Amino acid sequence: MNLNVSGVTFGYNGKMVLDDINFCLSGGEVLAVIGVNGAGKTTLLKCLCGILKPSGGAVLIDSTDTARMDRQERARRISYVPQRYVDASMSVYDAVLLGRKPHMGWSLTEHDLQVTEDVLHALHLESMALRQLSNLSGGELQKVIIGRSLAQEPDLLLLDEPTSNLDLRNQMEVMNILNTVAKQRNVSIIVAMHDINTALRFADRFLMLKDGHIHSLAPWGDITEGLICQVLGVDVIMGNVEGHHVVIPAPSIQ
């Protein structure tokens, strides 16, 4: 799968939010979208999945313009996990199974059920399969919604702050699973994140947004203290712990 984002532009009420966004992504890659609040991260994801219609440019998957796909095809190929999700009256099992909807015919297949079981197992959700979503914690609900997207088996998976409600153990678990899915299934994954350390641990490349423009598009190895300061507006110190880049805010100058 190859994603080509060409000249995507979008604005709200006359205010430009995204201006001439261009990048490509191959199957198996994890791309972290980094920027301050209001930089356009969520808007970009919504433009990529079709929730918002860009005022200019195109989003191509394997040379096919997603704007020309019908809803069913777009749902089979692209999955989006938003920052916030409204509880529904259904069980954890049914919520994950719902991810199979774009692939279903008139009835469930053994494959649909097996995919659902595999996702529940991978995310350690088997014990709560019959619990209602309304009875889950914020972190548990977040894992279920991610599980539903994995059950969808998309070519392109978009996640907006997927670890924001998760404790450290579950953050590592979810990001490891996403990384494995990308590499083993050749899925392209784009993750909008504020946690620069988690992004540095799992992302292959970084798309740094600033004022609606791409400030830089770089592999994780090219991320520097100066670049982070330019995009996030804070001085940082970078170090290396057992092969992983680690970023901490620089001490205030007295």
Rounded to an integer, what distance in angstroms lies between the CA atom of residue 191 and that of residue 207? 10
**What average pLDDT does the structure give for the chain?**
91
pLDDT in tens, 37-50: 999 999 999 999 99
Residues 6+ apart with CB under 8 A from 81: 145, 146, 149, 157, 158, 159, 160, 162
Rounded to an integer, what distance in angstroms lies between the CA atom of residue 31 and that of residue 217? 10
pLDDT in tens, 26-74: 999 999 999 999 999 999 999 999 999 999 999 999 989 998 998 889 9
153 vs 242, residue with greater confidence: 153
Judge whether residue 88 has pLDDT over 80. Answer: no
115 vs 242, residue with greater confidence: 115
Residue 83 confidence class, pLDDT cut points 50, 70, 90: confident
Tell me the whole-structure pTM to 2 decimals. Answer: 0.92
Rg (CA), the chain: 19
Residue-by-residue DSSP string for 76-98: HHEEEE-S-----SSBHHHHHHG
The pLDDT value recorded for residue 91 is 94
The pLDDT value recorded for residue 254 is 44
93 vs 105, residue with greater confidence: 93
The pLDDT value recorded for residue 244 is 84
Which of 38-42, 76-80, 82-86, 167-171 has the weakest average pLDDT? Answer: 82-86
Tokens (6 digits) for 183: 């590499």
177 vs 106, residue with greater confidence: 177
Number of DSSP helices (H) and strands (E) in the chain, helices first: 8, 12
Nearest to 80 by CA among 152, 185, 29, 6: 152
Tokens (6 digits) for 26: 């191959």
42 vs 220, residue with greater confidence: 42
